[in-house]
Structure 1
Amino acid sequence: MKKTLFLNPPSFDGFDGGAGARYQAKREITSFWYPTWLAQPAALVPGSKLVDAPAHYQTVEDVLKIAKDYELVIMHTSTPSLPNDVKCAEAIKTQNPETQIGFVGAHVAVLPEQTLKDNPIIDFVCRNEFDYTCKELSEGKPFAEIKGLSYHDRQGNIQQTPERELIHDWDAMPSVFPVYAEHLDIRNYLIGYLLNPYISLYTGRGCPAKCTFCLWPQTIGGHQYRAKSPEAVGREMAEAKAIWGSSVREYFFDDDTFTIDKKRAIAISEHLKRLKLTWSCNARGNLDYDTLKELKNNGLRLLLVGFESGNQQILDGVKKGIKLEVARKFMENCHKLGIKVHGAFILGLPNESRETIEETIRFACEVNPHTIQVSIASPYPGTELYSQAEANGWFTGDSLVANSGIQMSALQYPNLSGSEIEDGVEQMYRRFYFRPKSIIPIVGEMLADPQMLVRRLREGKEFLSYLRERHQRAASH
């Protein structure tokens, strides 16, 4: 067994681009997701170490001190962070040329040959679901015998092995909780709309939806939802409670669409109620009232819902599969039941215009989720959105993120520039939050909970800093 390090490498200050984030960027306020995509293979490799450098504010120098003792380093990368991640790999290789270094993540899964050709320092990249690929690498199995691997052979030529099958027996996958407990400081993981400290986890992978912009189903997870049984999830959550007790305030189920199988979601929620755990999850904005009520009765606090746009033509164009009227009824039911909703929106999708941005802002204010996040459409390689942008000449020529790590618009349209899309993000935040309907509930939270008071004041300061940074960037252009 090779001594194996799973590494989410250092990047931009505050950049949440690694093994858990859906949008690889520095957010408006400090946010870090758990590096679940690395923790899962780490759970399969006894004696391995997991380092999540961004969330623990570790530098390349810190990483080098750790990596010197390891034979195999498996690094997570993303499209915007790849250049920095390669520099980190070069530093590790310079320190010890015998260290084998490989990359995992959506970018290298889609572009394995290009990644290896452009970066000879990388020994291999893993394609598709890489959990068992990593396990076999740590066991010292020859590269040529490992499915789902692209690598440099001894002559420097690029070789590719056959594809690896997707994982279907998810009950056989070990829990990530012992890995979290041993290697991560849960106090460092913050998400603005969750109760902190929180824990996030996947109970399965894959999403039947066909959204053109969504990264993971199109690159690694696939469109079939493969998941653990409610009984297996119940056992894992009991394990979590045994590890952390009451110190974790909320558990977040980060499956792409946790509620797609309503019977399973309800069965899991019954275990959570028995364990007296507060929890939240991803959901689509079409869940029916009776299911919502049952989940709420079993401890559900919040739903993260991707509304994306307030324009039906845009939603149809990205194959969202949701009607605005259904989303309105869903929000009405959530308000009635007291379920908080964090609404996710995307500006800059195909068919976007100044008028549709206005429609989205009005829609968000109308349905009134508790909190929102507004992202810029990001055409990641491997997604249908990327192919559309390439075919139609929509690329601006800019990167997905600025030098500081904040999102930039990589897309522009004949009647809408990239800078107008970026301006729309700020406009939407201001108009949504600077309303009595938004301010009053948030102030109420702050007055009721001293921890929330400190946190919201910090987040407000960070948000103003984020806006200043955007204005400075706009002025320099």
Structure 2
Amino acid sequence: MKTLFLQAPSYDGFDGGAGSRYQAKREVRSFWYPTWLAQPAALIEGSRLLDAPADGLSVQASLDVAQQYDLVVIHTSTPSFPTDTLFAEQLKQRKPAVLVGMVGAKVAVDPHDSLVASKAIDFVCREEFDFTCRDVAQSLPLASIQGLSYRLPDGEIMHNEGRPILENMDELPFVAPIYKRDLKIENYFIGYLKHPYVSIYTGRGCRSKCTFCLWPQTVGGHRYRTRSVENVLAEVKWIRDNMPEVKEIMFDDDTFTDFKPRVEEIARGLGKLGITWSCNAKANVPYSTLKIMKENGLRLLLVGYESGDDQILLNIKKGLRTNIARRFSEDCRKLNIKIHGTFILGLPGETRETIEKTIEYAKDINPHTIQVSLAAPYPGTTLYKQAVDNGWLQENKVINLVSSKGVQLSAIGYPHLSREEIYHGLEEFYKRFYFRPSKIWEIVREMLMSWEMMKRRLREGVEFFKFLRAHEA
């Protein structure tokens, strides 16, 4: 079938198409690559990937494109599901014969209710959906396709047997050629990465057991399955040779640094290719490995610190203590590796005192930039079950994770700490971290290094202040 993979129109700045744990409008307008859609698109000859939010396409313009296809696969999430469903219904009104499916964590953990929500949704894919989408596009009988839940002509909903987890990650084709063919890479902008950048995965799954993290608990699993070093370096070389405008590659694996010998081998290969790169990392990478990474083109690490309180880190099964994270941060400083640190407010065990402790902790370890999120109990995660079991969240109620403008809300509240206090703790965190003379000077000094950085930081600053105003409101 003529197939379209679609990130449907949504909030301005909403980056739900990526492996984002917090699908919401960002402090600074940003878009991750829709890698989870690019992967099955690479398996289906003649398919197209359309990222409507990144392209700034309206609903009508997106419908004009979508109605040209026989099969439309929409990536959805808990926050975007209502608008994605509305888009599917409008598409069906235009072209009743079109087959509409949905993929993503939301439908993976709740396939039955997702199909019940609207007759416009013909099927949803569970588990890893790359080959499930391929089988549907090849017009195989729906009843024969593993990992598929679908609606029969009489309205009955069927759930096929699950699809086994993909073991040989080298079976997946490169996503970079799909980026080049279908996307406008200048639209993908992340405040802490060089522009333009490209992000890819070198494996799936995460061995960490963090109770809040969406993807390992819903789609990817906890076993880290990796592409071969040769396969990864071959795609990076393809990017270097075919997308010369790319200034940085981001490896978006949940914990790219888990297997130290593999990371060191990839790093040495990247060094030979002359690539500038960044990656996700847990705050426990030894100095020796960090040194090899830095010597071979590493520029920045995206690190989930989450909290400055050790009991909270224990509560969420982070598998890390603040003293280890402090030493790691100091090692990065010695090696001149920049860090974009992420923190979460409202996790189990949070109090006014622990919020204060985390703010001071962030100021002390002083990442170059930070992202502060609010605890988001996505269905399918341990955090969601805890929130329901303890009365922090009412089950079967609408989970308001974002406002009508896409700004993240505090969905969890405690008897001793209200949702409103947690919500406003976020802007307090940002102000106290960034509005310090030392941090202001650090950013100004960076701006003075180049006119390009000057323009970029000024634009981001305007967006950041707009975000704070919207959040305070």
1:415-437 per-position Cα deviation (integer Å, ceiling 9, x unaligned) = 11111111111011011111133
Gaps of 5+ in 2: none
Q: What residue ranges of structure 1 are gaps of 5+ in the alignment?
A: 473-477
User: Does the 8 A contact of 1:348 with 1:377 survive in 2?
Assistant: yes
Partner of 2:92: 93
Displacement of 1:155 in angstroms is 1.0
| Partners of 2:208 and 2:14 in 1: CA distance | 28
How big is the shift at 1:387?
0.2
Query: Is the 2:107–2:125 Cα contact (8 Å) retained in structure 1?
Result: yes
Aligned mates of 1:413, 1:20 — CA distance in 2: 28
CA shift for structure 1 position 358: 0.2
CA distance in 1 between counterparts of 2:381 and 2:335 reads: 36
1:275-314 equivalent positions in 2, closer than 5 A:
275-314=273-312
Distance 1:198 1:22 in 2: 20
Partner deviation per Cα, 1:74-132 (whole Å, 9 max, x = no partner) = 00000001000001101111110000000000000000001111212100000010000
Equivalent-residue separation in structure 2 for 1:61 and 1:288 (angstroms): 51
Q: Is the 8 A contact 2:268 2:292 kept in 1?
A: no
Name 2:207's counterpart in structure 1. Answer: 208
* 3-state DSSP of counterpart to 1:387: helix
Q: CA deviation at 1:451?
A: 1.1
Deviations 1:159-186 (A, max 9, x none): 0000001111111210001100011011
Q: Shift in Å at residue 464 of structure 1?
A: 1.0
Q: Is the 8 A contact 2:424 2:472 kept in 1?
A: no
The aligned amino acid for 2:359 is I
C-alpha offsets along residues 348-373 of structure 1, whole Å, 9 cap, x if unaligned? Answer: 00110110000000000011111100
Question: Could you say which residue in structure 2 is the equivalent of 1:356?
Answer: 354
Shift of 1:471: 2.4
> Would the aligned equivalents of 1:302 and 1:339 in 2 still touch at CA under 8 Å?
yes
Aligned to 1:260: 258
Q: In the alignment, is residue 186 of structure 1 matched against residue 193 of structure 2? A: no
In the alignment, the residues of structure 2 paired with residue 99 and residue 337 of structure 1 have an alpha-carbon distance, to the nearest angstrom, of 54
Match of 1:249 among 220, 231, 247: 247
Secondary structure of residue in 1 paired with 2:402: coil
SS in 1 for 2:405: coil
TM-score relative to the length of structure 1: 0.97
State how 1:354-393 maps to structure 2 within 5 Å: 354-393=352-391
Q: CA deviation at 1:16?
A: 1.2
What SS is found at the alignment partner of 1:15? coil
Q: For residues 469 and 279 of structure 2, what CA distance do their matches in structure 1 show?
A: 32
Answer whether contact 1:433 1:439 (CA < 8 A) is retained: yes
Percent of matched pairs sharing the same residue: 56
> Aligned pair 1:167/2:166, yes or no?
yes
Q: CA RMSD in A?
A: 0.9
2:11 equivalent in structure 1: 12
Alpha carbons of structure 1 residues 289 and 300: separation in structure 2 relative to 1, 3 Å? same
- Distance in 2 between the 1:173 and 1:68 partners? 28
Higher alpha-carbon deviation: 61-70 or 356-365: 61-70
Separation (CA, whole Å) in 1 of partners of 2:447 and 2:247: 17
Aligned partner of 2:145 in structure 1 is 146
Q: 1:326 aligns with which of 324, 336, 343?
A: 324
* SS, match of residue 421 in structure 1: helix
Alpha-carbon distance between aligned partners in 1 of 2:50 and 2:112, rounded to the nearest angstrom: 27
Task: String of CA shifts for 1:400-457, please: whole Å, max 9, x gaps.
Answer: 0000001000110011111111111101101111113322221111111211111111
Matched, 1:72 2:71: yes
Q: Could you tell me which residue of structure 2 aligns to residue 137 of structure 1? A: 136
Give the corresponding residue for 1:53: 52
Letter in 2 for 1:320: K
Secondary structure of 2:124 counterpart: strand
Whether contact under 8 Å (1:19, 1:76) holds in the other structure is no
Deviation of 1:463 (Å): 1.1
**Are residue 38 (structure 1) and residue 43 (structure 2) matched?**
no
The whole-number CA distance in structure 2 between the counterparts of 1:393 and 1:64 is 41
Q: Using the alignment, how far apart are the partners of 1:142 and 1:422 within structure 2? A: 48
Question: Is 1:441 equivalent to 2:439 in the alignment?
Answer: no
Residue 308 of structure 1 contacts residue 344 of structure 1 at CA under 8 Å; is this kept in 2? yes
Residue 401 of structure 2 is matched in structure 1 by 400
AA of the residue aligned to 2:13: G
Output the amino acid matched with 2:439. Answer: S
Distance 1:195 1:387 in 2: 38
Q: Does structure 1 conserve the Cα–Cα contact (< 8 Å) formed by 2:304 and 2:342?
A: yes
* TM-score calculated relative to the size of structure 2: 0.98
SS in 1 for 2:288: helix
Q: What secondary structure is seen at the aligned counterpart in 2 of 1:43?
A: helix
Given residue 346 of structure 1, which amino acid in structure 2 is its aligned partner? I
Q: Which residue of 1 aligns with 2:221?
A: 222
Q: Provide the C-alpha distance between the structure 2 equivalents of 1:232 and 1:437, rounded to a whole number of angstroms.
A: 43
Find the counterpart in structure 2 of residue 475 from structure 1.
none
Aligned residues between the structures:
470
